[in-house]
Amino acid sequence: MSFNAHNTRQDFAIFAGSDVAFLDSAASAQKPRAVLQAMADFAESHYANVHRGVYRWADEATQAYEDARQAVARFLNAPSPETIVYTKGATEGINLVAHSWGQSLRAGDEIIITEAEHHANIVPWFLLSQRQGVVLKWARVDDDGVLDLDHLQSLISAKTRMVAVGHVSNVTGTINPVAEIVRLAHDAGALCLLDGCQAVVHEAVDVQALGCDFYVFSGHKLYGPTGIGILYGKAEHLDKMPPFQGGGEMIESVSQDRITFAAPPLRFEAGTPPIIETVGLMAAIDYVGQFDRQAIARHERALAHQASKAIVDMGGRILGTAPDKAAIISFTVDGVHAHDLAQILDQCGVYVRAGSHCAEPLHTRFGVTSSARASFGLYNTADDVEALIKGLAKAKSLLMA
Ligand SMILES: Cc1ncc(COP(=O)(O)O)c(C=O)c1O
C-alpha cells in the first residue's frame, strides 16, 4: 500500500479528535487499531496458556504464539523460528546474553561497547564485568556523534569476546556501519551483538546479511505492545547457552537430582510468556509491512530535517550531525533547560522527551547533562513540525525574556 502519513494517522485511535504533535516515538510508539484489535480478538476468542494444554483454545493459542515467532523470523530474515527468543524487551534480551553466554567468559576477557550506547547496552555488560572480571572497553564517537571506527578497531584484541553496539542511536539517530563492525569482530574471533531497538522501526533489517550473532529489539517501539521483545541469536550460540531463568516449560525433564533443559528457543522462555503481546507484535509487523518502508523513512527524515533546520536557525544545537541519520533529533538551546523546554512544549500540545534518554555517557561526550528529543514515526506530518517550531519560539520568548 502506498504510504501517506495523513492516512496512517487515522489508523491510530489515540489521535482521533486530537491535534497533539506526538514526537516521542523513540521512547515508545503509539499503537494502531489493527494491533489493539488483534490482541482483543485473540483474547476474546482463542486465549489460553501456550505449550501446555491439549484442548482447542490451548492449541489455537500455541499456534498463534508460534505463528508470531515465524513472522518475526521473516521480519528479520532469520534462518529459522528457533533462532527467535521472546523476551520482555530489548533490555531483557541483552541481559539474557550477558548472563547466559557471559558465563563462558574468563577474567581478563574483553567486551567492547561504544560511548553512544543506551544504558540497556551498557549496564548488563558492566555488571558482567563486575561479576566475572571481564574488561569493558569503550569505543569513542567524534564531535558529530559518529562512531570512530578506527578507534573501535584499535580496541579489538585477541582477548575480545564481544562487540556490542547500537544499530541506530536513540539520541542522535546516527546509523552505525554495523555490517563492517560485525566483520571486524569476527575477524578477531569475537561475537557481535546489535541493539536494533531504533533500527527496526526505520529500516528493513536482515540479520543474515548483517552476519551478527545476536540482534535485539522491543515490540513497543515498533507500534506493537509493551512487554514483548525479541532476541535473535545464531543457533550455534543459542544451542550452547545455559538457561537465563528457570521455571515451567524451559525444561525437558525434572527429577529431584537432575534437570535437563529444552532446546532453544523454549530454553530461554521460562514461565508463562507474554502471549497476547506476541499476537500484537505480529499485527504490528503486518501493519508496518503493508507500506513501502523506504517511503516511510524518507518521509520521517524529511520531517526531522525540516525540524533540525528550524532548531539551528533559532540558535539551538543539534547533538550529532552525521548526514545519514534516522528521524531522531536531540537538541539543546543555550540557557534553557531541556525540562523547561519540554514543559512549555507540552502546553502547546507538542510532546517531546527531555533528559539524557538513558544515554548519559553520550551526553557527557557532548558536554551536556540533558537534551530535548523529537523523534518521528509514521503518523507524524508537517503539521507536527510546525507545532514544534511554534512551541520552541514560544518557549524561547518565555524562558529567555
Ligand atoms: C537504542 C535502545 N536500546 C535499548 C532500549 C531499551 O528498550 P526497552 O526499554 O524496551 O527494553 C532502548 C529504549 O529506549 C533504545 O532506544
Number of domains observed in the structure of the chain = 2
Are the C-beta atoms of residues 87 and 233 closer than 8 Å to each other? Answer: no
Question: Does residue 256 form part of some domain?
Answer: yes
Residues 163 and 298 in one domain: no
The lowest-confidence range among 107-111, 154-158, 333-337 is 333-337
Question: Does residue 36 form part of some domain?
Answer: no
Residues 373 and 298 in one domain: yes
**Boundary-marking domain end, from 254, 289, 324:** 289
| Strand segments (E) across 191-296 | 191-195, 214-218, 229-233, 251-254, 259-261
Percent of the chain whose pLDDT exceeds 90: 95
pTM here is 0.97
Q: Which residues contact 250 (CB under 8 A, 6 or more apart)?
A: 243, 261, 262, 266, 267, 268, 269, 270
User: Rounded to whole angstroms, what are the CA distances from 230 to 84, 166, 216, 281, 353?
Assistant: 7, 15, 5, 10, 25
Q: What pLDDT is recorded for position 256?
A: 96
Mean pLDDT (the chain) is: 96
Is pLDDT above 80 for 146?
Answer: yes
Residues 285 and 308 in one domain: no
Q: What pLDDT is recorded for position 53?
A: 87
348 alpha carbon – ligand 1 mean position (Å)? 27
Residues 279 and 321 in one domain: no
**Amino acid making up residue 365:** R
Q: Which atom of ligand 1 is nearest to the CA of 27?
A: 14
**Boundary-marking domain end, from 289, 306, 323:** 289
Q: Within 11-105, where are the H helices? A: 33-45, 56-75, 90-100
Question: Does residue 33 form part of some domain?
Answer: no
Q: What pLDDT is recorded for position 322?
A: 87
Q: What pLDDT is recorded for position 128?
A: 97
Instruction: Pick the catalytic residue from 197, 212, 348, 358.
Output: 358
The pLDDT tens digits for 19-59 are: 999 999 999 999 999 999 999 999 999 999 999 889 999 99
Is pLDDT above 80 for 112?
Answer: yes
Question: Does residue 29 form part of some domain?
Answer: no
Residues 260 and 303 in one domain: no
Residues 85 and 212 in one domain: yes
Residues 300 and 248 in one domain: no
224 alpha carbon – ligand 1 mean position (Å)? 14
Q: Which atom of ligand 1 is nearest to the CA of 28?
A: 14
Q: Which atom of ligand 1 is nearest to the CA of 93?
A: 11
CATH number at residue 166: 3.40.640.10
Question: Does residue 163 form part of some domain?
Answer: yes
Q: What pLDDT is recorded for position 364?
A: 96
Cα gap 96→159, rounded to integer Å: 22
| Range(s) of the domain holding residue 226 | 46-289
Residues 184 and 325 in one domain: no
Question: Does residue 150 form part of some domain?
Answer: yes
Is pLDDT above 90 for 323?
Answer: no
CATH number at residue 19: 3.90.1150.10
Name the pLDDT band for 401 (thresholds 50, 70, 90): low
227 alpha carbon – ligand 1 mean position (Å)? 12
If one compares 1 and 62, the residue with the highest pLDDT of the two is 62
Q: Within 227-373, where are the H helices? A: 235-238, 275-289, 293-313, 338-347, 360-365
- Other CB atoms closer than 10 Å to residue 182's CB: what's the count? 23
Residue range 110-122: average pLDDT? 98
The pLDDT tens digits for 3-17 are: 999 999 999 999 999
Percent of the chain whose pLDDT exceeds 70: 100
Residue with the nearest Cα to atom 9 of ligand 1?
Answer: 91
Residues 261 and 364 in one domain: no
Is pLDDT above 80 for 269?
Answer: yes
User: Rounded to whole angstroms, what are the CA distances from 333 to 43, 374, 376, 401?
Assistant: 47, 14, 20, 14
Which residues contact ligand 1 via a Cβ below 6 A?
Answer: 89-91, 118, 120-121, 166, 170, 195, 197-198, 218, 358
Question: Does residue 376 form part of some domain?
Answer: yes
The preferred substitution site among 28, 91, 201, 328 for testing ligand 1, maximizing ligand atoms within 8 Å of CB, is: 91
> Is the bond preceding 265 in cis, omega lying within 30 degrees of 0?
yes
Q: Exposed e or buried b for every residue in 326-353, given b needs 16+ CB within 10 A? A: bbbbbbbbeebebeebbebbeebebbbb
**Boundary-marking domain end, from 240, 256, 289:** 289
Residues 275 and 302 in one domain: no
Please report the DSSP string for 328-368 in residue order: EEEEEBTTB-HHHHHHHHHHTTEE-EEE-TT-HHHHHHTT-
Residues 135 and 194 in one domain: yes
The pLDDT tens digits for 182-213 are: 999 999 999 999 999 999 999 999 999 999 99
Question: Does residue 269 form part of some domain?
Answer: yes
Q: What pLDDT is recorded for position 282?
A: 98
Residues 248 and 302 in one domain: no
Is pLDDT above 90 for 362?
Answer: yes
